[in-house]
Structure 1
Amino acid sequence: MRFSKRLFSISLFLLVACSSERDTFTNRAFHNLTSHYNAYYLADVKIQEVLDENQQNYKEDYTQILPVFIPLDSGVIQSSKEKLESARELASKAIEWHRISKWVDDSYFLLGKIDYMQANFDDAKNALKYVNVESKDADLRHQVLIALLRLYVDLGEIENANFTIDYLSKEEKISDENRYDLYRTLAYYYEKRNDQNGVIGSLDRAIEYAKNNKEASRIYFILAQRYQREGLDNLAYDFYRKALEGNPPYERAFYSQLFAQQVAELNASKDLRKVRNYYESLYDDPKNKELKDVVVYERALFEEKQGDLPLTVDLLHQAAKEPGSNPRLKGYIYQKLAEIHLEEYVDYRATKYYLDSALTFIKPTDPAASSIASQKEVLDQFVFHVERIQSNDSLVRLSGMSEEEQRLIAEQFIQREEERLLAEARAKEEPKNSGIFDNLLAFADRGTGSSFYFDNAVAMQQGAIEFRRVWGTRPLQDNWRRSAATFQSTPETEIEEKVDSTAISEENNPLAQLPDLESLLAQIPKTEEDIAQLNDELEESYFELGKLQYFDLEEIEASVDNLETVVREYPSSSRKPEAYYLLYLAQKDLNGNFQQYVSRLNREYPESQYTFSVNNPDAASGNLAYLASSENYEQAYNLYYAGNWRQARTIIQQTLEEYPLTRNTERLLLLDIMVTGKIESKDRFRSRLESYIENSQDESLVHLARNMLKPLLTAEELAALNPVDSTALDSAAQAMAMEDSTVVKPDLTDSPFKVNDSQTHIMVLVMSPELAEESQSLIGDLENFHAKTFSNSRLRTGNMNMNQENAIFIISPFNNADKAKEYYDIFMEKFESDNLTEQIKENSFFISIENFQTLNRSKNIEEYRAFFKATYQ
């Protein structure tokens, strides 16, 4: 009976305590206990398990500066979906079943964490903001604000991040654990903004509050890397040594010791020998089997500092062949080889091929990949044209020789290739020395001294070459030497190739690359059409190579040589006017005789756009010139169709003189030719059309010019032309009118402004400083407008002087371009103020923060307005 009473009392207590509504001491104690150690605890454990798995799966790339935070791997998050959903369910239960518990806010924080990990950023933001507003636990609010700061940084919401940092900087009694997370998150903020000093300063503070020795070791390593990049070797050395404390992972300890050698003070030759011996010992250590490429690579960088460039290159080649656990390192090795061959040897071809190799190992998402790809783009073109010139030039010269001379040259080429293969085989057979860095490319086989034939690669290769020279390429079959071989019943396609296990495989046999005589002779052009095709390609490559060397590679003298070749060897080339113009620019840079090209252009191509340009060297250019020429073109065009041909010509000539080289130049020239057809003789009209067709690069305009020319030709001349659609002069002009009836939108490729719709935007009103001084109540009108129309947007207004001519009123912030566009449309429709004229309102615009920084430097408001109209209106 006594036991039954106790059981009944306990059951009654639990039943009463289970209520999630009654706010009594007993009820709160029960819900605090169960929510904390059941739902909340289990949810937190599951989240931490996923984060631990993400960290274990992450492969640190110690050759690059480590990131402040280990990034979340979407693959890990996806594979842990069930675990995270279970954590979400548990956290939700802690909220729903234990509403009076003090762990409700903490459970919302867990929900925000889960949403952040699953990239549900809006939901994460809402959950974190809710906890910050509702929670009375200062410690939890600090955790939430730090998590929000990281989220704002991820989303690029820098203004919100700045508000959060400012708020936290004024908070007191932040716990040591939260301060550690705060300073790491601040370092992450500065890392995203490429602020080296900010990252170092924040991590220096974070290390003061670090409790976990392994985390402290990682921060010390990052600080050492960043101090090394800043050239502060003494500090870097100290931090690399500190990174060895706290029992770090073996790989981090290995790199800490390795990099410490790079920044150690080395004064005497004895120190240099010590470092080299250290690299030797690391290489020989069996524990570093998967890090041999790192050891050799770092030794290469060390030798580069000592000024031994040939040894550096040899070591980099060896590093590329060594085994390793980080494939990206191979990409960095090839990138380093490319850098050396570009900067030290100025070898563009080798640089291009090393960059090709680098991109096979570096992922497209790697920051280095985009810079390599952009650098390689120019080099790809350079190598293509250089190799095409070499190949085509040789083939054209060979085509002018007799068959006997061609055969002799081909045989000599094959013989040189054989000698090269033999030399490579001998180099591979040189015995390997005991020092790993003494003979970097040697093979570890028995060498040339072996008496057994199949152990001697040089003898095998020599025999294979001799066999091929005497017998040619033969299928692997029995009795191949007998004259009766032709009567064998098995067709060649069905012969089973049998390769002795000791024979050289075709894959590894360098002879597979050796061409035969007939295939070489077959490449020599035989017909006039083939030779003409090769010459056309040569003309193009000499010209394009000259342009690349002038504009991209800054090899001005080499550019002059190639462009002079175009002018000299291809006198009827349609590229000749532009070649003259480039030679004019190049000779000006070299302080040479550039006037000769001005004379040639005026004499040979008096109506070329390049002639207009050299005659007006101070004329405007760029995007603004294009916009101005577009407006003038439309005006002249309308005058032409109104019959005011001489007025149209005046505007055309003025535009060509003021803006001689824009994307409108060829249109203006053709329009001027159309005026010629109206007011000058037919012969003059025909002459100008023929010249335009020969020299214009715009195929659509050339097509129009051909249609204009057709009515002026005889029947015989028409028959000689390639068939094109027959159109009379005015119908061709009408086609042109349809194409250009509206003002052409500017091409924004040359604009300093960039489209970035996801960035924070601001709205800008521009007026004179005097008017701005008189319109101080405009801010009040704007704030009233915002209170009525955008009450939840937290918009702010302000004003500043941009320069002596312009003052601006700013409305901010808008999260992205869509939000700014929405505000702009409503503002244009509904906002009214006595202090704002219609003209100022019509000239208002919105702009991203990045573009505003560019505008603030250039002060060129009209240039941005043109960009704004082309992009958003």
Structure 2
Amino acid sequence: MKTPIKAILAITCSVVLITGCSRKKDNFVSRNYHAVTAEFNALYNGYLALEAGRNTLNESYADNYWDILPIERMQIQEEVVLPGQFKNENFNRAEEKAVKAIQKHSINIKGKEKNPQIDEAYLLLGKARYFDQRFVPALAAFNNILNKYPTSDKINQVKIWREKANIRLENNEVAIKKLKRLLYEEELEDQDLADATSILAQAYLNTKSVDSAITQLTIAANATKSNDERGRYRFIQGQLYNKLGFKDSANIAFDKVIELNRKTPRIYLISAHIEKIKNFDYENGDKRALLEHLTALEENRENRPYLDKIYHQIAEYHLINESDSLAVNYYNKSLRTNSQDKLLRAKNYQTLGDMNFDTSMYETAGSYYDSTMANLVLNSKPYRVTKRKRDNLDDVIYYENIARVNDSVLQLVNFSETERLEYFESFVETLKAKDEEEKEKAGTAARNTGLAMVNNKIGGQIQNSAKPNQATLFYFYNPTTVAYGKNEFIKIWGDRVLEDNWRWSNKTTSKSGNKGPDINIADLASDEERFNPQYYISKIPSEEKVIDSISKERNFAYYQLGLIYKEKFAAYNLSKNKFQSLLNSNPEQRLILPTKYNLYKIYELLGENDEASIAKNEIITQYPESRYASILNNPDLADLKDKNSPEFIYETLYAQHENQEYSDVISKCETYINAFDGDPIVPKLELLKATATGRLLGFNAYKKAINYVAITFANTDQGKQAQKIESEILPKLASTDFVEATNDSSTHFKVVYKFEKAELEQVSGFKKNLDTIIKNIKYHKLKTSVDVYSPSVKLVIVHGLKNAQLAKTFDQLLTKADQKQINKPYFAISSANYQIVQIHKNLDTYLSLNNN
């Protein structure tokens, strides 16, 4: 039987094709087979993956329009990627396809590549690594093409991408040099020219050469085929002109972005409009035309995704034109858009905070500053500036609340019975109206719940016929009941942190962090008492002692507010009002003189010379022996630390503390705390007193003293330091357990000589003799000190002994003559146990353990 000719031909062609496609043969069939297969299989799929990865990058990247935009949209991520890991799976796939093309379709014969698609594969490999932010391997791939395929038709693109990688590796000078050479040696056109000049502009920006960057961006914008890129390059040009202060040139650049209209992404268009508006000359420009332009932007439906920016700019317009209420309205509108631009939100909150600050609404300003910090990068410079300003408000908020509440109470105290009754009858009527409103809201919520049940039916059937009301009746599914519950919780418990034991009284917090919640007395009343005016009248303080305490607390708050407004905020009129209110409120004697002196200084600062002269004469006449009178009579002393100044006294006491004169320090601190009551030096004296008390009397006394400072001066630096000591340091010092000798790994031991009250006069001479003797002890570097243990006990210590046995046999290091001089009993103790003895004053317990 004859074999058909067609079959023979088919077999022959197949054999020829298979043998001709070998990667070891350089022939027409082999070259073209591998070239076509590489291009339309591996490389095609690889470029599809690369493009998908780039789209993902663009979608996830958010430009910061408050700063100069980068030329290329790519967010550099800081996290370290281990070998074999990838930041984006699409780039991993693109790299795999490039490697596959190289491995399966490379025809390398005698060191020369015969497949014209392999250089394209290496280019894809480099791009995939570049976008995956592995810049060193990307650079290796680009260099491989330059070394092996110098005649490639992609060679200029490769050179551009190599310099992009160099720039990412911060080799900006190298990139500038090579890109300038490329532009000089090659006649680049279209997209190659745009890519080369744009990336050169980025290198110039990185090296602060703004002028050169602008020139290159002009070339790139004219050469690129992409309107997306053209809009970005023009917008960056405008930003750079603004940075240089050339507003007219910047506006021309922004106009070119606006002319592109829908050809470029709308975010560039809107941002160009906003940047032009920022450059508007409010002194000479047409403000009405500007407002019409802003209104047109606001009303354009296409601009809805960017209303946050537009509202912000309209608010800025009204703020500059001193239309504060309109400005506040638009700042709030911008915030209500739930903008994703955190910096924009921060600026809105910051401006609203500043506006409230300028009108002395400090508590509201503090809340806005809290929101500002929540939208700023932690520990960034803007964050630290805002935090410093916010921290300064804590004291204001704290004392303003005290003054407001106590003023209200004292006002009620001074009312007649008729006035009290009228006041609380009006208050009860307000409560009743509020209750009616709450009931109406609850009824509306119930009706809405029923409506929601009906609307949950599909085709007239309830979705879950087994339990039709379960979802709609669940408490947390109804926003009205949830909001009501939150308000009720805050009324009763205040603002509490979510933590264990949240019901404890010391867990109470507030937004300012300084005070407990303002519990409304009406919320604590029974239903019968709530609407009875006599219930509230009965709560008004009547005891003289209580009223006096409230008045003193209010007066002290006035004094502190006067100081804060004067020293921290330079709000001299506010400070003057507080000090004057204090003097009109029958203040304690201790506050009158410093208040008058501060008023004198404020009058001087405000240029009210007549009032300043009156205040000065009052101080000199009525308080001639005071330090304030001395300063006023001798102005040169104001800049010096005279012996009567609080600062000088504190420094003197601190030196005594360093010299272990603890009893004297405690006694003098008490005297000066009373003398300087109301002065900012008092918290420092209290903290110094607490420290001296701890050194002299031990842990329990120190704990009590520190707690007093932490509570009494909670809003001062010393109070905050005491709070930190109480929460972090004291728990570490609480243990009284000694370290047993078998467990003591200490290499520092001490020899201790104890001197009781009757022997204290001998301490100085004993130490002097001991110092002379230990100088003659060889092989050991010893030194001595005298430590106060208690008011009646001092300890002479020998330091520098390296082990317990050496310390216990210390007397054997002395000569017989020396032993006769130093014949007092001693005991050895490790440094760790000595610290416990001094902290807890439990020396007798230690000695009873027979450690020696």
TM-score, normalization by structure 1: 0.51
Contact 2:254 2:273 in 1 (8 A): yes
Residue 465 in structure 1 maps to residue 433 in structure 2: yes
SS in 1 for 2:788: helix
Contact 2:166 2:174 in 1 (8 A): no
User: For residue 69 of structure 1, what is the aligned residue in structure 2?
Assistant: 72
Contact 2:49 2:91 in 1 (8 A): yes
1:223 to 206, 228, 237: 237
Q: What runs of 5+ residues in structure 2 fail to find an aligned partner?
A: 1-7, 445-471, 474-479, 492-519, 523-529, 629-634, 675-681, 699-704, 710-729, 737-755, 758-786, 801-852
The whole-number CA distance in structure 1 between the counterparts of 2:145 and 2:625 is 80
Residue 206 in structure 1 maps to residue 220 in structure 2: yes
1:89 to 92, 96, 100: 96
Residue 669 in structure 1 maps to residue 653 in structure 2: yes
Contact 1:95 1:104 in 2 (8 A): yes
User: For residue 788 of structure 2, what is the aligned residue in structure 1?
Assistant: 730
* Displacement after TM superposition at 1:14 (Å): 1.0
TM-score, normalization by structure 2: 0.52
The whole-number CA distance in structure 1 between the counterparts of 2:12 and 2:793 is 103
1:143 to 147, 156, 160: 160
* Displacement after TM superposition at 1:248 (Å): 1.9
Tell me the amino acid that sits aligned with residue 465 of structure 1: A
Give CA deviations for 1:519-558 in whole Å, capped at 9, x if unaligned: 9769866788977886786577556645654554333565
Percent of aligned pairs sharing the same letter: 17
Residue 161 in structure 1 maps to residue 186 in structure 2: no
Give CA deviations for 1:169-217 in whole Å, capped at 9, x if unaligned: 4554364545534544455456678886676455334324323122102
Name the CA shift for 1:561/1:250 in 2 (closer, same or farther; >3 Å): closer
Contact 2:139 2:166 in 1 (8 A): no
Contact 1:40 1:107 in 2 (8 A): yes
Aligned 1:394-405 pairs, distance under 5 A: 394-395=407-408, 397-398=410-411, 400-401=413-414, 404=417
Q: Which region of structure 1 is more displaced relative to structure 2, 724-733 or 271-280?
A: 724-733
The whole-number CA distance in structure 2 between the counterparts of 1:605 and 1:266 is 53
* Displacement after TM superposition at 1:51 (Å): 0.9
User: For residue 249 of structure 2, what is the aligned residue in structure 1?
Assistant: 235
2:404 to 381, 391, 394: 391
Name the CA shift for 1:303/1:672 in 2 (closer, same or farther; >3 Å): closer
Tell me the amino acid that sits aligned with residue 8 of structure 1: V
Name the CA shift for 1:693/1:227 in 2 (closer, same or farther; >3 Å): same
Tell me the amino acid that sits aligned with residue 44 of structure 1: Y
Q: What is the alpha-carbon root mean square deviation over aligned residues?
A: 6.6
The whole-number CA distance in structure 2 between the counterparts of 1:32 and 1:565 is 92
Name the CA shift for 1:600/1:167 in 2 (closer, same or farther; >3 Å): farther
1:244 to 258, 263, 266: 258
SS in 1 for 2:185: coil
The whole-number CA distance in structure 2 between the counterparts of 1:59 and 1:539 is 53
Name the CA shift for 1:130/1:604 in 2 (closer, same or farther; >3 Å): farther
The whole-number CA distance in structure 2 between the counterparts of 1:242 and 1:130 is 40
Residue 688 in structure 1 maps to residue 668 in structure 2: yes
Contact 1:563 1:583 in 2 (8 A): yes
Residue 10 in structure 1 maps to residue 17 in structure 2: yes
Name the CA shift for 1:108/1:408 in 2 (closer, same or farther; >3 Å): farther
Contact 1:580 1:601 in 2 (8 A): no
The whole-number CA distance in structure 2 between the counterparts of 1:346 and 1:197 is 45
Aligned 1:363-512 pairs, distance under 5 A: 364=377, 370=383, 373-374=386-387, 376-378=389-391, 380-381=393-394, 383-385=396-398, 387-395=400-408, 397-398=410-411, 400-401=413-414, 404=417, 407-408=420-421, 410-411=423-424, 414=427, 465=433
Tell me the amino acid that sits aligned with residue 377 of structure 1: R
User: For residue 693 of structure 2, what is the aligned residue in structure 1?
Assistant: 706
Tell me the amino acid that sits aligned with residue 554 of structure 1: A
Aligned 1:168-207 pairs, distance under 5 A: 168-171=179-182, 172-173=184-185, 175=188, 177=191, 180-185=194-199, 187-188=201-202, 200=214, 202-207=216-221
Q: Which region of structure 1 is more displaced relative to structure 2, 582-591 or 109-118?
A: 582-591
SS in 1 for 2:73: coil
Contact 2:235 2:257 in 1 (8 A): yes
Give CA deviations for 1:324-370 in whole Å, capped at 9, x if unaligned: 76565555444444455556x5765554444455567x465898973
User: For residue 45 of structure 1, what is the aligned residue in structure 2?
Assistant: 48
Name the CA shift for 1:702/1:234 in 2 (closer, same or farther; >3 Å): same
SS in 2 for 1:9: helix
Name the CA shift for 1:288/1:677 in 2 (closer, same or farther; >3 Å): closer
The whole-number CA distance in structure 1 between the counterparts of 2:556 and 2:43 is 72
Contact 1:292 1:322 in 2 (8 A): no
SS in 1 for 2:684: coil
Aligned 1:698-847 pairs, distance under 5 A: 701-706=688-693, 730-731=788-789
Aligned 1:639-658 pairs, distance under 5 A: none
The whole-number CA distance in structure 2 between the counterparts of 1:211 and 1:401 is 82
The whole-number CA distance in structure 1 between the counterparts of 2:214 and 2:38 is 41
Count of aligned pairs between the two proteins: 599
SS in 1 for 2:164: helix
The whole-number CA distance in structure 2 between the counterparts of 1:566 and 1:383 is 16
User: For residue 313 of structure 1, what is the aligned residue in structure 2?
Assistant: 327
The whole-number CA distance in structure 1 between the counterparts of 2:49 and 2:119 is 18
Name the CA shift for 1:145/1:4 in 2 (closer, same or farther; >3 Å): closer
Q: What runs of 5+ residues in structure 1 fail to find an aligned partner?
A: 154-159, 419-463, 478-495, 498-503, 607-612, 620-652, 712-717, 743-873
Contact 2:369 2:390 in 1 (8 A): no
* Displacement after TM superposition at 1:152 (Å): 3.1
The whole-number CA distance in structure 1 between the counterparts of 2:691 and 2:281 is 72
Name the CA shift for 1:398/1:3 in 2 (closer, same or farther; >3 Å): same
Who wins on radius of gyration, i.e. which is larger?
A: 2
The whole-number CA distance in structure 2 between the counterparts of 1:186 and 1:550 is 54
Aligned 1:236-385 pairs, distance under 5 A: 236-246=250-260, 247-254=263-270, 256=272, 273-291=288-306, 294-304=309-319, 307-310=321-324, 312-313=326-327, 316=330, 319-320=333-334, 332-340=347-355, 348=362, 351-356=365-370, 362=375, 364=377, 370=383, 373-374=386-387, 376-378=389-391, 380-381=393-394, 383-385=396-398
Contact 1:386 1:545 in 2 (8 A): yes
* Displacement after TM superposition at 1:688 (Å): 3.1
Name the CA shift for 1:183/1:369 in 2 (closer, same or farther; >3 Å): farther
Contact 1:316 1:337 in 2 (8 A): no
Name the CA shift for 1:375/1:24 in 2 (closer, same or farther; >3 Å): farther
* Displacement after TM superposition at 1:8 (Å): 2.0
